[in-house]
Structure 1
C-alpha cells in the first residue's frame, strides 16, 4: 500500500513520541542518572549495634570510593546515603522514608536489624526498591520469597542446625538444651533447635530464656545444668553470649558444649577479658580474618581501611566489603541502560561467587534469593575464632 506524505509524517511523529517516551522512561529510573546511582542504608551509627553499622558503612564507602575514582560503572559514580536509626524501629521507618521518598534510592543495601528491615519492607517494596544483603541473618530477609529480597549468607537457623548436627556427630552429645532470648530472634533459634532435634530423632531436654538486658544468668545455667544437658544452643547476641557462657564456666560446668550463631560472631566475644569464652562454638556465614594470617589481598585491604578510618576492620567491615563487591558485580552485569529489572536479573545470574575472604560460594537464581545455606563452624581458641569445620549442611 502506498503511504501518503501525511501518513508518513504521522508515522515519523509517532516514532518520535515513542522514542522520547522510551528515553523519558530510561531517565525516570529512580536513583539512576547518567552520572550516578544512589544506594541507601538505614543502620545503627550511634546505638547498641554501632560497631556493626559504622564498619559496614565505612567498608562500603572505601570500596565505592575506589570504583568512583576509577570512573565508576559505565560512567556512573556510586553514591551511598547512610541514615542512623540507633537500632530503634521508629527511627528506622523514618530513615527509610527519607531514603525512599526524598532521596529516591535505587537500592537498599546493608540495612541493619531484623525488626527494622521487617518494619520497612512494606513501604520499600511498594516503592519497588530491592533489598540486598541486610545485616541480619533472620530467615525473613529471604523468606517467604519476594522478587525484591536478596540475602547473601546463611541464616541463624542454618547456623544452629548445622552446629548441633556437627557436635552430636563429632563430640557424641546426647542431651540437647537451649538458652535463648525471649524475643523474635530467640524464638527463631528455638525453632532451629526443635527442627534439628526432630531430624535427629532426639528430644530437647530443657529450655531456658533470658531478656536482652539480663546480666545475671545464674538461674538459667543452674536449671540447664540440673537437667543434665551436655549441649546447649544459644540464642544470644554479643553480651549475653559472653555472660551466659562465662557463668557456666565460673560455676565449674565444663562437661558441656555451648554453640551460638552469627549474632555472636564478633571479635568482642572471642577476646572477652580473662579468656572467659574459650571453647565456645559458633556457626557463621562468613570468614573472620586476622591481619597476621591474611592473604596479601586481604592484608592490603586491611591496611587501607585502617589508614582511612584509624582503626582495624571488624566483622562488620568484612560484610560491608563483600556486599559492595557484590553490588558492583551486579551493576556491571546489568549494563549501561540500568533499570531495576535489569539489576534484579543481573543478581539472579550470579553463581559461583566468592568474596576475597574465602567465604561460602554464593548462588542466586530466578527462584532462589538466599545466596547460600553453607555454615562455617568456629571455636574460640586463645582469643580468636578458629575455623574447625565447614562449609557444613544439616
Structure 2
C-alpha cells in the first residue's frame, strides 16, 4: 500500500507539472515578453516605392525611440522588425512568413502596398496577427470586416466620391470623365466615379484607361477632350498622373483634373517646369511644409532630419502617425496585453488626431477604419495648398 501511495503521489505531481506547463504555455502571448513587444513591418526599402517605405519605417522608428526612451509601454520596450518586400508580392509573402513564423510578432503595422497586403492577409489573420494601418488606401484593408483588420484614413473610393461631390457643388462640374489604370487600383477609382455620379444624377460621360508603365497619353487625352469633359478624375499614381496632365496642357485643354492620395506626393507637386500646376488632389492627411508648419511639427521635422539625414516626406507622416496610434492602443491594453485586449483598446479610441492636423479618427466594435473624411488640395507654385477639408461624400 505504501508503494501505491508513493506512485500515486508521483503521478499526481507529474500531472500537476504538465498542467502547470500547459497553462503557462497557453498564457504566453506571441510577440510579448516581460521586457518587450515585437512589431513587424513588410515594406519597400529598395524598390519602386522605396521613398514611401524607407521614410515610413524611419518615422515609426523615431516614434518608437521616443516611447522607449520614456520607459516603454508598461515597462516593456517596443522592438520593430522591418523586412524589405521590394514592392513585389512574392517577396512580401516571404517577408511576412518570416515575421509571423520566425519572429513571432505581436502585430503587423504600416505594411506597404495593396497587392502585398492582399497576398499576405489570409495567412496572417489565420495566425491571429492584427494588421494595423497599412500604407494603402484600398478598401480591402478594412473590408470585409475582420476583427484583426484596421485602417486609418479615407480610402481611394471615399476620397474620389468626396472630391467629385465638392467639384459639382463648388465648381459646377456636370460632365465628368475618368482616366484610370487598368488595374485593381484604377478600377476602384472608376467605381467611385460611377457611384458618385449616379448618386448625383450626373452622367459619367467618358472613360479612358492606361497601363502603369505608359508614357504616351495623347490618345487618351484626345478621347476625353472629344467628350467635352469638364472634370477628369485620375485613377493613376505618380508618373502616370504627371504625364497626362502635362499632355492636356500642351494640347491647350485646360480642364480640371482631380486625383487622390496616390498622387499626393511632393514629386507630383514639384514636377519640373510646373507641369502639374493647378492639379486638384484628394488626400487622407496633411503634408506639412516647414515654413507654414506649427512649432510641434517643425520640431518633429528637426528630430527626423537629425536622426536620418533627410527631410521627412508624406511617407514619414504616415509612419509617425500610425505608430503613435498603435502606442496609444498598447498602453490602453494594460500591463498584460493580448490580442483581445489590444483590439478592444483600439476599438475604444475616439477622437484621435495626429500632430499634422489630419482628420479626427475614431474606432468601434463595428468600425475598424479611423475616418472616411479627406482633404482637397491644389498644386500651386510647386506645392500642395489646402483648399478645403476635411470633407466626405456622406456629409
> TM-score, with normalisation over the residues of structure 1?
0.95
The 1:76/1:207 distance shift into structure 2, 3 A limit, reads same
Listed one character per residue, the Cα deviations across residues 109-166 of structure 1 (whole Å, up to 9, x for unaligned) are 0000001000001100110000000010000000010101000000000111111110
> TM-score, with normalisation over the residues of structure 2?
0.94
Equivalents in 1 of 2:13, 2:336: separation in Å? 24
Deviation of 1:75 after TM superposition, in Å, equals 1.1
Q: Is the 8 A contact 2:159 2:392 kept in 1?
A: no
Deviation of 1:71 after TM superposition, in Å, equals 1.3
Question: In the alignment, does 2:130 pair up with 1:130?
Answer: yes
Q: How does 1:211-360 map to 2 (within 5 A)?
A: 211-254=211-254, 256-360=255-359
Question: In the alignment, does 2:48 pair up with 1:48?
Answer: yes
Paired positions, count:
387
Cα RMSD between the aligned structures? 2.0
Listed one character per residue, the Cα deviations across residues 223-245 of structure 1 (whole Å, up to 9, x for unaligned) are 10011011000001011111111
Give 4+ residue runs of structure 1 displaced > 2 Å after superposition: 10-26
Equivalents in 2 of 1:151, 1:263: separation in Å? 16
Question: In the alignment, does 2:81 pair up with 1:81?
Answer: yes
Unaligned runs of 5+ in 1: 1-9
Equivalents in 2 of 1:109, 1:156: separation in Å? 20
SS at match of 2:213: coil
- 2:6 matched residue in structure 1: none
Equivalents in 1 of 2:166, 2:17: separation in Å? 65
Q: How does 1:101-112 map to 2 (within 5 A)?
A: 101-112=101-112
Listed one character per residue, the Cα deviations across residues 31-56 of structure 1 (whole Å, up to 9, x for unaligned) are 11011111111110100000000000
SS at match of 2:41: strand
Q: How does 1:137-176 map to 2 (within 5 A)?
A: 137-176=137-176
- 1:92 matched residue in structure 2: 92
Question: In the alignment, does 2:187 pair up with 1:204?
Answer: no
- 1:5 matched residue in structure 2: none
Listed one character per residue, the Cα deviations across residues 360-385 of structure 1 (whole Å, up to 9, x for unaligned) are 01011000101110011111111111
Deviation of 1:272 after TM superposition, in Å, equals 0.6
SS at match of 1:291: coil
Equivalents in 1 of 2:17, 2:69: separation in Å? 37
The 1:344/1:12 distance shift into structure 2, 3 A limit, reads farther
Equivalents in 2 of 1:347, 1:107: separation in Å? 13
SS at match of 2:90: helix
Equivalents in 1 of 2:265, 2:12: separation in Å? 65
Listed one character per residue, the Cα deviations across residues 270-305 of structure 1 (whole Å, up to 9, x for unaligned) are 111111111111111001101111111110010010
Deviation of 1:25 after TM superposition, in Å, equals 3.0
Deviation of 1:342 after TM superposition, in Å, equals 0.6
Deviation of 1:15 after TM superposition, in Å, equals 9.3
The 1:371/1:15 distance shift into structure 2, 3 A limit, reads farther
Q: Is the 8 A contact 2:72 2:78 kept in 1?
A: yes
Question: In the alignment, does 2:182 pair up with 1:182?
Answer: yes
Deviation of 1:24 after TM superposition, in Å, equals 3.7
Question: In the alignment, does 2:35 pair up with 1:25?
Answer: no
Deviation of 1:190 after TM superposition, in Å, equals 0.4
The 1:15/1:330 distance shift into structure 2, 3 A limit, reads farther
Equivalents in 2 of 1:356, 1:272: separation in Å? 27
SS at match of 2:121: helix
Equivalents in 2 of 1:75, 1:135: separation in Å? 29
Equivalents in 1 of 2:101, 2:113: separation in Å? 21
- 1:370 matched residue in structure 2: 369
Equivalents in 2 of 1:191, 1:160: separation in Å? 10
